[in-house]
Amino acid sequence: MSSYQNHQPAISRGLIWGGIHLATTLTLYIAGMMGNPAGNILLFFFGLYMMYQSAVDRRNAMSGYITWKHALVPAWVTALIANLISVPFTWIMVKFIAPEIQDEQRAEAIKMAERMRSWIGDEGFEAQLEKIETQDFAAPIQYVMVFLGAAVTYFLIACIIALIVRRNDPSDPFSKYN
């Protein structure tokens, strides 16, 4: 079985998750509810479910037994595929479709800086404000960093899911070491 065939269910689930993320984001934008965290929370839990199902599908394809490493890969691939869709779409949305989102992000950054004012002092606060005012919130490098941060975060989540899904083969005494 080729590598693609091994990971085809994970790729499919990642495409579904990414597509649902796009549809949900556009729906929230059209409805004027982009700032509503409930949509993001639901998308996150839907993603966890998709990662879990990818690992379970792989386990079922392997006769019901799977090592931690073999369960990790499909869960993480699902998240990476979804992020390959959602992060560029978010950048396109912020850059071209809804540039007013940058103003909202700038306002949130200013609020965060105000909360940190006691820690960084007045001079540090003024420097931070100046930096925020000139920052391009639609810079591609920021979205590359978002993708990389999400990849690390979802790797850690995939590790936990793999621990949940793994099932050692009792006929292989060394399978628990894989």
Boundaries of every domain in the chain: 3-99+138-177
| 130 or 19, greater pLDDT | 19
DSSP code, position 175 = G
When pLDDT is averaged across residues 127-152 and rounded to a whole number, the result is: 91
Per-residue pLDDT tens digits for 102-120: 888 888 888 888 888 888 8
When pLDDT is averaged across residues 4-32 and rounded to a whole number, the result is: 92
* Predicted local confidence at residue 175, as pLDDT: 60
80 Cβ contact list (under 8 Å, min separation 6): 14, 151, 154
Maximum distance among all Cα pairs of the chain, rounded to whole angstroms: 67
Per-residue pLDDT tens digits for 69-114: 999 999 999 999 999 999 999 999 989 998 888 888 888 888 888 8
